[in-house]
Chains A and B, each alone.
Chain A
Amino acid sequence: MSEYIDDLDAGPGVGLVEKRFFSFGSADEPLVLESGRSLGPVTLAFETCGTLNEARDNAVLVCHALTGDSHVAGRYHQDDPKPGWWDIMVGPGRPIDTDKYFVICSNVLGGCMGSTGPTSLDPAEDSRQGTPYGTRFPVVTIGDMVRCQRRLIDHLGIERLLAVAGGSVGGMQVLEWSVRYPERVCAALPLATTSKHSAQAIAFNEVARQAIMADPAWMGGDYHATGRPEHGLAVARMIGHITYLSDQSMRDKFDRRLQDRCELSFDFEADFQVESYLRYQGNKFVNRFDANSFLYLTKAADYFNLENQHGDGSLVAAFAKARCRYLVVSFTSDWLYPTYQSRDMVKAMKKNGLDVSFCEIEAPWGHDAFLLPNARLDALISGFLGRVKEQCAAGECDAVGTGGTGAGCAPAGTGGCHAL
């Protein structure tokens, strides 16, 4: 569920990247969502780095977290102040090495960074036409997001992804990919994530949504002409930020230190550094994110339930559909998606005889840890991906039940429309 981390620049990475767009479907041939409602046409914003090889078998799909975007690495312009959100992980010589892998990242359905979402214009043929969807946008699920990503992968002419990787809500998409399209994924890296939200995680999201909806400026979602619910969205962001940190990281970072003063103010100014930090994060977020989109994306995360969707209530049955290798990673201080949730997934994978590696990394920074520099995480990801690449090159794409011979990685032999 985490976000941008500021001030991390690992030097020259993938260089300049470009945001591109892929559209599919139409009002006549819409995407039918899991809710039963229809949506069409649909546009995804996406970016790629690295080069797709001849065999088209080196593609790694990176899925972003709750409020992330397609800008995973590199810069749009030479003088951009900061690179993409996972620039420390994706680039030449970095763990997801763009000298070896072709990296794809798309903004999720329901987002507000270029993909179709509640800020998109409603194509309905009535008086609403030409105004943003707002809350008339249908509720989307993680499954819907992944189905759209699959259309993008088809469009890029990629038969089988070498790996799908992502943390937090991105990790949910990774899990969904691995059981929804088992024949199209060689390896999955769900990081700092869960197969379903705990009541606590839903509770925090609900408070965040209520903060937005309680803002008078929200206007039932139709605020585009009247001004955005900035206070509500900022408070929602502040709540989110608390869940991304940990008791220890807050103590280390702020403790009870005062902000720009040496005495308590005895009013409602931001006395403490932690208050000032949250206000800053909240206000900064308002400039880049849409309040309705926040509602939709948190709802999608709350609805995600891999075992109900794919296993009739059994996580073991859900993973019975999977064929890929897994690298599951959790962090000791992540209390949003605690380690027990990752262990539950690993347990279900093992019961299905799946090839799984798991590591709980000792880290004090809370849920955000997966976005911060971490030598252990780097080594895990690069070692795991290297092995998967070797195995797939040897024709062992399926990781289970094949005795190592695998079903083979069929290259995308058909012409199709390749937009590269």
Chain B
Amino acid sequence: MRFDLQVIASWIEPGARVLDLGCRTGSLLDHLRREKSIRGTGIEIDEQAAGEAIAKGLSVIHGDIYEEIGDYPDSAFDQVILSQTLQQVHDPARLIRDMLRVGRRCIVSFPNFTHIGNRMQMFFTGRAPVSRELPYQWYDTPNIRVIPITDFRRFCRDIGVPIVREVAISTHHHDTRGRVITVLPNLLATFGIFMLGRHDQANETPGS
């Protein structure tokens, strides 16, 4: 499994109720089901991917995450995961609030735009960066936002959502190995992973 997903999996309590937004073929949910006996649900907009996930025996709804998340009752889940999708989200504040309505906590991961590789490309070539983490040209990218780790922290403060836990990692997009970056993460990390909580839970220990 991808290194970033391994990090996310390590944050999930055994037996938790987990909602994975944009679950693709359900590899994270499948892993969590086997390793941590979670009760998982996925939402996936692509028929092929959703079909494969259901065929694995996972509970997955083929649909749009913005529409589908609205139907769940408050606190239906312990954790809501949005893995490497935030850069494609139209209204991140609304989605994160919705995630924290249906889940006690949520986990958000995204490619760090201000990684040194991107900075160098922009500086030396004067062109929009194309990297292993963000492998698209300006004209064919599904991504509508660029997110530096530093800006995401500021965004969480602005919308009043406490960061419960965070880690910056350096890994290739599909790599199963990687490492945690503790020094200058906004410069050296390829991905940021954040666990967000509700305001009233800010001081609780993670997973309590």
Query: Which residues of B (101-148) have their CB < 8 Å from a CB of A?
Result: none
Minimum CB–CB distance from A178 to chain B (whole Å) comes to 16
Is A94 positioned at the interface, with any CB of B under 8 Å from its CB?
no
| Contact B54–A350 (Cβ < 8 Å) | no
| Contact A359–B56 (Cβ < 8 Å) | no
Residues of B within 8 A of A347 (CB): 71
Minimum CB–CB distance from A363 to chain B (whole Å) comes to 10
Q: A361-B47, A383-B54 are in contact. Are A353 and B73 (CB under 8 A)?
A: yes
0 or 1 for each of B42-82: is its CB under 8 Å from A? (1 = yes): 00000100111011111111110000100111001000000
Please, how many residues of chain B have a CB less than 8 angstroms from a CB on the other chain?
Answer: 23
Query: CA separation between A356 and B76, bound complex, in Å?
Result: 14
Number of A-B contacts (CB under 8 A): 66
| Contact B54–A357 (Cβ < 8 Å) | yes
Is B92 positioned at the interface, with any CB of A under 8 Å from its CB?
no
| Contact B15–A404 (Cβ < 8 Å) | yes
Main secondary structure, interface of B, reads mixed
| Contact A362–B61 (Cβ < 8 Å) | no
Residues of A within 8 A of B37 (CB): 404
- In this complex, what residue of A is CB-closest to B61? A358
0 or 1 for each of A305-329: is its CB under 8 Å from B? (1 = yes): 0000000000000000000010100
B residues lining the A interface (CB < 8 Å): 15, 37, 39, 41, 47, 50-52, 54-63, 68, 71-73, 76
A residues lining the B interface (CB < 8 Å): 325, 327, 343, 346-347, 350-351, 353, 355-362, 376, 379-380, 382-384, 386-387, 390, 403-404
| With A350-B61, A358-B61, A359-B51 already in contact, 15 other A-B pairs whose C-beta atoms are closer than 8 Å | A351-B73, A353-B73, A353-B76, A355-B39, A357-B61, A358-B62, A359-B54, A359-B62, A360-B62, A361-B47, A380-B55, A383-B55, A384-B55, A386-B57, A404-B37
A-B contact pairs, 14 of them (CB 8 A): A353-B73, A355-B39, A356-B59, A358-B61, A361-B51, A362-B47, A379-B51, A380-B55, A383-B56, A384-B55, A384-B57, A386-B57, A404-B37, A404-B39
